[in-house]
Amino acid sequence: MKRIVGILIVLVVFFGACLPLEAGSPRQGTGGAKVDQGWQTIPETRFYEIFRHYLLRRLRKEAPDVLVSKFEVNANKPVPRGTISYQVYQKDTRRLEGFVRLVTVISVNGMVQNEVRLSGLVDVFGPVICTARNVKKGELIDADDLYTVRKNISRLSTDIVCDMNDAVGLMAKQSIKEGTCLQEWMVERRPTLDRGDLVTILAESGDLRVTVPGKVLEKGCKGALIRVQNVMSRKEIYATVVNGSTVTVDF
C-alpha cells in the first residue's frame, strides 16, 4: 500500500511540473498601462491627465483656472507591449473652451498603433474687468472706475475685456451700468478730431509743402483715414489724422 501511495505522489509531482502556471493579475506596463498576454491597455485616468496637460499648456493657465467635466475617451483599444508615447493635437480651430475635442496618437516603440479621441466640457476661469460706477456715454474711463473679478470666461463673450490697461483712457460708446463686465464694443478711443473741427490739410512732396484750411466731416483718432473738406475748393478728400489740428494727404 505504501508503495502505491509513493508512486501516486511521484506521478502528481511529475505532471504538475509539466502544466503551465495559472495566469495571475495583469502586470503594469509603461505609462501606467495594464499588460496582459502581450497587449496593454491605457487607463482613462492617463488620458484625463494628458487632456488637462494639453489645455494648461496651450491656454497658459494654472491648474485651478481650468475645470474639466463630462470627460470621455473613445477608441481606446489595446496596443502591443512596449514603450508608449503620446502625440496630442486638435483637429478643429475652435477655442479651447466649452466643448473641446482632441486626438491622441498612440505609438509603441516609435510605431503608431492607434488614435484615441478625447472630449470634455472645459470651463476656464480668469480676471474680468467690470465697472465700479455708472459710466455715461462719452465719458472717459480711468482706473478708479474699474475693478477686477474672477469669472468663468468660457461662458462669457469672446470680446470680454480681461486687462485693465485695455480699458483705461478709453471713452464709453454708450451708458454703462455699475457692475457691468466690459466688452470691447462698449468702449473706444477718444477721437482726436470730431465732425465739424477746423484743421490744416497738409500735403508734402520732397521740399514742396502745401497747406490749405479744411473742415472735418467725420470723427477719427490719430492715424485714422477720415473725410475732410477743402474749405477753399469745397472738394471732399480723404486725409490721415496727425493730431488735433492737422491732417495729411498724399501729394
For 55-74, what is each residue's pLDDT tens digit? Answer: 999 999 999 999 999 999 99
- Asked whether residue 145 falls in the same domain as residue 225, the answer is no
Residue 21 has pLDDT above 90, yes or no: no
Distance, C-alpha 67 to centroid of its chain: 14
Q: What is the tally of structural domains in the chain?
A: 3
Q: Which of 124, 141, 171 is the last residue of a domain?
A: 124
- Provide the strand spans (E) within 66-158: 66-74, 79-80, 84-89, 98-108, 111-131, 146-152
Is 5 a residue whose pLDDT tops 50?
no
Contact between 226 and 216 (Cβ < 8 Å): yes
Q: How far is the C-alpha of 55 from the C-alpha of 53, rounded, in Å? A: 5
Question: If you average pLDDT over every residue of the chain, what do you get?
Answer: 85
Look at the chain and count its residues: 251
What are the beta bridge partners of residue 213?
200
Domain-embedded: residue 1: no
Those residues whose C-beta lies under 8 Å from the C-beta of residue 159, and which sit 6 or more positions away, are 183, 184, 185
**Residue 106 and residue 39 share a domain:** yes
